[in-house]
């Protein structure tokens, strides 16, 4: 999967890859690699165009190079990998280059295909079936992906399989192409607040949106580095268009996905718009009694779920 445009020769799966297809979308899924997405293409005229960053053939075992990966039972960073919860201190594996525990505990684990059709897949995971899961409590997770018309509908959940409550969160980390031609995508984010960050992590409640991440008025991505968390989202949290091809993408999310991470690295051909339930290092803020972090507490036997929809039109 290299290059932005591919011929209309039908969806072909690579080793370990499941390809879902509809009239508008093709989505590659890697159940054995964390339930990651390996590519996401949309039909433009008679061709299929890579809307998401495609995973190269030699990276099908590397979630960091996937088109998207699920975030559960937390999203983004935990400072120093230290999780404090109800008077106890848990040391998670510090698997981020910055010394944090990052991006949840499921993107390297194999998921089971519970059901599949041409345009949908139901993926499930139990932490009890794996060794060395980077989370101190037993849990199970689920992803249901459905292609429907112009939409990709994503439903995610985490279930507490332990005998004590635990804090949790969910999200998805999709990488989109920065350009479908010569011009940057024009991004609009309907958010009313943002966070001041230290080393990518929040240290106080949401307040003003930093200027670099303020896309309330639509504008091209531009040259600035952006890695910010926004909240106070509207029903359509984000919308962006590719001027060269006239393709527009929108992200609608449940209220449970109350936060959005916008990531635009410098000198890269991709950017990320990540629907998540809570802010970076939200567990630490939650423990301090800070309101609005998005952290949820899941009781034994309970399931927390959230969904979002990606829509592509021309």
pLDDT for position 7 = 38
Question: Is pLDDT at 196 greater than 70 in this prediction?
Answer: yes
Least confident of 5-14, 96-105, 130-139, 284-293: 5-14
User: What are the DSSP calls for 61-115, one per residue?
Assistant: T-GGGSSEEEE-SS-SEEGGGEEEETTEEEE----STTSSEES-S-TTS--EEEE
Which pLDDT tens digit goes with each residue over 23-32?
999 999 999 9
Contacts of 162 by beta carbon, 8 Å cutoff, 6+ apart: 137, 138, 139, 300
Domain that holds residue 109: 5-186+277-313
pLDDT digits (tens, 9 = 90+) for 58-83: 999 999 999 999 999 999 999 999 99
Output the domain CATH number for residue 93: 2.70.98.10
**In the chain, what percentage of residues exceed pLDDT 70?**
96
Answer whether residue 86 is part of any domain.
Answer: yes
**Does the pLDDT at position 2 exceed 50?**
no
Q: Which residues contact 97 (CB under 8 A, 6 or more apart)?
A: none
pLDDT of residue 13: 87
- Residues 116-149 have pLDDT tens digits of 999 999 999 999 999 999 999 999 999 999 999 9
**Does residue 216 fall inside a structural domain?**
no
Residue 233 falls inside a structural domain? no
Per-residue pLDDT at 222 exceeds 70: yes
Provide the number of structural domains found in the chain: 1
State the pLDDT at residue 3: 38
In a domain, 132, yes or no: yes
pLDDT tens digits for range 277-308: 999 999 999 999 999 999 999 999 999 999 99
Percent share of the chain, pLDDT over 90: 96
pTM: 0.95
Mean pLDDT (whole number) for 98-104: 96
Give domain status of residue 265, yes or no: no
Element of type H or E holding 286? helix 282-287
Looking at every residue in the chain, the average pLDDT score rounds to 95
Higher pLDDT, 122 or 2: 122
3-state secondary structure of 212: helix
């Amino acid at each position: 999967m290299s290059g932005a445009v591919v011929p209309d020769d039908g969806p072909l799966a690579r080793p370990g890859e499941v390809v879902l297809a509809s009239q508008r979308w093709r989505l590659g899924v890697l159940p054995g690699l964390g339930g990651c997405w390996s590519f996401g293409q949309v039909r433009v005229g008679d061709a299929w165009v890579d809307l998401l960053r495609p995973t190269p053939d030699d990276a099908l075992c590397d979630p960091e190079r996937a088109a998207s990966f699920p975030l559960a039972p937390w999203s983004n960073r935990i400072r120093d990998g230290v999780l404090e919860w109800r008077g106890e201190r848990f040391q998670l594996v510090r698997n981020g280059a910055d010394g944090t525990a990052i991006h949840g505990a499921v993107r390297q684990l194999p998921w089971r295909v519970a059901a599949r059709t041409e345009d949908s897949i139901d993926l499930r995971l139990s932490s009890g079936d794996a060794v060395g899961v980077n989370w101190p409590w037993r849990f199970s997770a689920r992803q249901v992906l459905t292609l429907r018309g112009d939409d990709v509908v994503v439903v995610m959940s985490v279930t507490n399989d332990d005998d004590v409550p635990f804090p949790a969160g969910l999200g998805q980390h999709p990488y989109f192409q920065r350009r479908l031609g010569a011009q940057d995508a024009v991004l609009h984010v309907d958010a009313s607040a943002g966070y001041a960050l230290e080393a990518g992590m929040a240290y106080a409640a949401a307040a003003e949106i930093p200027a670099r991440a303020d896309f309330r008025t639509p504008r091209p991505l531009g040259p600035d580095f952006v890695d910010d968390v926004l909240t106070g989202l509207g029903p359509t949290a984000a919308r962006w268009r590719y001027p060269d091809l006239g393709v527009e993408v929108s992200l609608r999310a449940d209220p449970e996905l109350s936060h959005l991470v916008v990531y635009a690295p410098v000198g890269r051909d991709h950017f990320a718009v990540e629907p998540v339930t809570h802010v970076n290092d939200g567990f630490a803020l939650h423990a301090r009694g800070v309101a609005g972090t998005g952290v949820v507490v899941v009781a034994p036997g309970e399931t927390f779920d959230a969904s979002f929809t990606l829509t592509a039109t021309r």
